[in-house]
Structure 1
Amino acid sequence: MNTDWVLHGESPSRIERIEAYFSGHGYTPHRHDTYAIGRTLAGVQSFQYQKVLRHSLPGGTLVLHPDELHDGMAGTEAGFHYRMVYVEPVLIQQVLGGRPLPFIKGALSADTRLYQACEVFMQAMDCPLEVLQEQDALFDLAQALQAVAGKPRARRCFDYRAAERARDYIDSRQGAGVTLDELERVSGRERWSLSRDFRVLYGTSPYRYVILRRLDLCRRLLRSGFALVDAALAAGFFDQSHMTRHFIACHGVPPARWLRMQAR
């Protein structure tokens, strides 16, 4: 019998909060364009990250950087129980204002500043967040990430406004295809400089950002009752198999399994 489950918490914005339990294997190697910041509540949460097997235990904070490959599995036969919040880099940038995204080395931190800054997001899923409460918590979280990560080794000038114009344009296209010619035109920034800035400021490439916006739409459609093939086509993928490949690469599980896990 499959005892794995995932619960979702209410959020005023695009932030996703989950609580989950896995009895054994959780996720195959995947990457997404958000921070995944969490707390192991019970058991041992093991994962490969930057070619090292790491183990998250209760009492610490787990911070997976955007676009870093990772998986997930139980470190013992007891399984693992955890809560996680997925924060888009744009929300961190609204606080940091164009500085490079903070990177927590090794993905695990025992720093009390980061632990305390996550408290609001680590509440039980039946505790709804108010808009101002979430905004205050985001500010605290961004500041804690910056403080714990420290200063980046290298500094150079980034055109945050140009990257933001490109990101806004991609969002306005709602999953439709976008070219570097278009992004160069709407941002006013030379394409390769824009691509480099986009990666530093938002943690992923413009193309992957487009793909992940399609997957966001696909997940919403699946949860509203769309069939896999219909959701794939509506979200802008060529077909169901095209969507499934990207879904596994982003979420670590096939879309059908992901849908089954959405409740106890």
Structure 2
Amino acid sequence: MLYVEPSLVRDALGRQASALPFLRKAVLTDPRLMQAIHAAFTDMDTLLEKVAMDELTVLLADGLLANDESAQRTTRSLIDFTATNRAKEYLDGNLDQAVHSEQLEKVTGLDRYSLSRQFRKAFGTSPYRYLTMRRLDQVRGDIAAGASLVDAAVRAGFSDQSHMTRQFKAGYGISPGQWRRLVCKT
């Protein structure tokens, strides 16, 4: 079961909606909602970083709003490239740290939900997914250079080796050990 506090959905919607979305149908097959639910259940056994939880809230709120037949649609907003580039630079410089939404808000001047939407528009992915993929890039480099899986995981900012392994398999379809055997043939 997934429970999201309604106030979080309301905060994520911001000015996009005057009220919480109302869905007339009990069963929906909307790809946006399916993506949000899939993302929420992918790492159920791992404590999610705050940036990841904010992204899930945005995906869910946007999916719910898109399925509310009574909602008034807003016009498209322009991308704030200055803010999104600041966020990207901050993420690149803090791969080994737990990144908090409050930090990204200070760096960009945008609230966490606006940043999530803006970042996705600018780079095609969420800040959390971007951070995860940059961490995995570092892991691949470290493993290719001979680092142990544990050392590679810690150096890249993953909570432990199993967390890194789950993310690696999700990102590349194979485990880090399998990847090492492919790349480090002697």
Whether these two folds match at TM > 0.5 is yes
User: What RMSD over aligned residues (CA atoms) do the two structures have, in Å?
Assistant: 2.0
Are positions 1:169 and 2:90 aligned together? yes
Equivalent residue for 1:194? 115
Check conservation: 1:170, 1:178, Cα contact below 8 A. yes
- Per the TM alignment, residue 250 of structure 1 is displaced from its structure 2 partner at its CA by 0.6
- Per the TM alignment, residue 190 of structure 1 is displaced from its structure 2 partner at its CA by 2.2
Amino acid corresponding to residue 105 of structure 2 in structure 1: E
- Distance of 2:118 and 2:110 partners within structure 1: 10
- Does the residue aligned with 1:261 lie in a helix, a strand or coil? helix
Count of residues in Structure 1 that have an aligned counterpart in Structure 2: 112
- Per the TM alignment, residue 155 of structure 1 is displaced from its structure 2 partner at its CA by 4.6
Q: Kindly provide the CA deviation profile for residues 142-164 of structure 1, in whole angstroms up to 9, marking residues without a partner as x.
A: xxxxxxxxxxxx85311111111
Instruction: Please give the TM-score of this superposition, normalised by the length of structure 2.
Output: 0.56
Equivalent residue for 1:208? 129
- Does the residue aligned with 2:183 lie in a helix, a strand or coil? coil
Structure 2's unaligned 5+ residue stretches are 1-30, 32-74
State the 4+ residue runs in structure 1 displaced beyond 4 angstroms.
none
Amino acid corresponding to residue 79 of structure 2 in structure 1: F
**Kindly, what percent of the aligned residue pairs are identical?**
47
- Per the TM alignment, residue 263 of structure 1 is displaced from its structure 2 partner at its CA by 6.5
The structure showing larger relative contact order (alpha-carbon pairs under 8 Å, at least 6 residues apart) is: 1
Check conservation: 2:80, 2:118, Cα contact below 8 A. yes
Are positions 1:156 and 2:86 aligned together? no
Between Structure 1 and Structure 2, the one with more helix by share is 2
Instruction: Please give the TM-score of this superposition, normalised by the length of structure 1.
Output: 0.40
Between Structure 1 and Structure 2, the one with more strand by share is 1
- Distance of 2:99 and 2:159 partners within structure 1: 15
Equivalent residue for 2:143? 222
Q: Kindly provide the CA deviation profile for residues 142-193 of structure 1, in whole angstroms up to 9, marking residues without a partner as x.
A: xxxxxxxxxxxx8531111111111111111133111111111111122211
Structure 1's unaligned 5+ residue stretches are 1-50, 52-153
